[in-house]
Amino acid sequence: MSHFVIVGGGECGGRAAFALREKGFGGAITLVAGEPFAPYERPPLSKEGLLEAREPKFIAAPERYRESDIVLLTGATATAIDPAARSVTLSDGQSLAYDKLLLATGARPRAFPGVARADGRIRVLRTHADASALRPMMAPGRHVVIVGGGFIGLELAASARKLGASVTVIEGLERVLKRGVPEEIAAIVAERHREEGVDLRCGQVIAALEEDAGQARIRLGSGEAIDADLVVVGIGAVPNTALAEAAGLAVENGIAVNAHLETSAPDIYAAGDCCSFPHALYGGRRIRLEAWRNAQEQGQLAAANMLGEGRQISAVPWFWSDQYDMTLQIAGLGDGAATTLRRDLGDGAFLLFHLDEAGRLIAASGIGRGNVVARDIRLSEMLIAARACPPPEALTASGVKLKSLLAA
pLDDT, tens only, 101-156 = 999 999 999 999 888 776 799 999 999 999 999 999 999 999 999 999 999 999 99
**CA 70, CA 322: separation in Å to the nearest integer?**
34
359: left (phi over 0), alpha (psi -120 to 50) or beta: left
Pair (98, 125) in one structural domain: no
Specify whether 97 is located in the same domain as 167.
Answer: no
356 with 291, same domain? no
Q: Which residue type does 65 have?
A: Y
Judge whether 319 lies within some domain.
no
Tell me what pLDDT residue 71 has.
98
Q: Measured between alpha carbons, how far is 204 from 197 in angstroms, rounded to an integer?
A: 19
Q: What percent of the chain has pLDDT over 90?
A: 94
Q: What mean pLDDT is predicted for residues 340-344? A: 97
Task: Look at residue 15 in the predicted model and tell me its pLDDT.
Answer: 98
pLDDT category of residue 31 using cuts at 50, 70 and 90: very high
pTM check: above 0.85: yes
Confidence band of 212 (pLDDT split at 50, 70, 90): confident
CA dihedral (34, 9, 290, 103) in degrees, to 10, reads 90
- Asked, for residue 317, whether it belongs to a domain, the answer is no
* 117 assigned to some structural domain: yes
pLDDT at 339: 97
Residue 315 is assigned to a structural domain of this protein:
no
Domain of residue 218, residue span: 111-233
Average pLDDT over the chain, rounded to whole?
Answer: 96
- Helical spans, DSSP H, in 23-101: 48-51, 62-67
Rounded CA gap, 47 and 50, in Å? 5
Q: Are residues 221 and 244 in the same domain?
A: no
Interatomic CA distance for residues 238 and 225, integer angstroms: 28
Asked if 272 and 160 sit in the same domain, the reply is: no
Within 8 A by CB and 6+ apart from 7, the residues are 13, 32, 78, 88, 101, 102, 103, 104, 105, 243
Tell me, yes or no, whether 42 and 142 share the same domain: no
CATH of the domain at 87: 3.50.50.60
**Do 77 and 64 belong to one domain?**
yes
Residues 131, 71 share a domain: no
Q: In sequence order, which residues have a C-beta less than 8 Å from that of residue 122 and are 6 or more positions away?
A: 112, 115, 209, 211, 216, 231, 233
Indicate whether 180 pLDDT > 90: no
For the stretch 225-276, pLDDT in tens is 999 999 999 999 999 999 999 999 999 999 999 999 999 999 999 999 999 9
| Distance of alpha carbon 216 from alpha carbon 234, whole angstroms | 16
70 vs 116, residue with greater confidence: 70
Smallest CA-to-CA distance from 262 within 315, 301, 320, 295 is with 301
Does the structure show a pLDDT above 90 at 373? yes
Paired sense of beta strands 107-109 and 237-239, if any: antiparallel
pLDDT tens digits along 394-406: 999 989 999 999 8
Domain tally, the chain: 3
Position 408 confidence tier, pLDDT thresholds 50, 70, 90: confident
Residue 273's contacts (CB-CB under 8 Å, 6 or more residues apart) are 10, 12, 106, 107, 237, 239, 254, 288, 289, 290, 294, 295
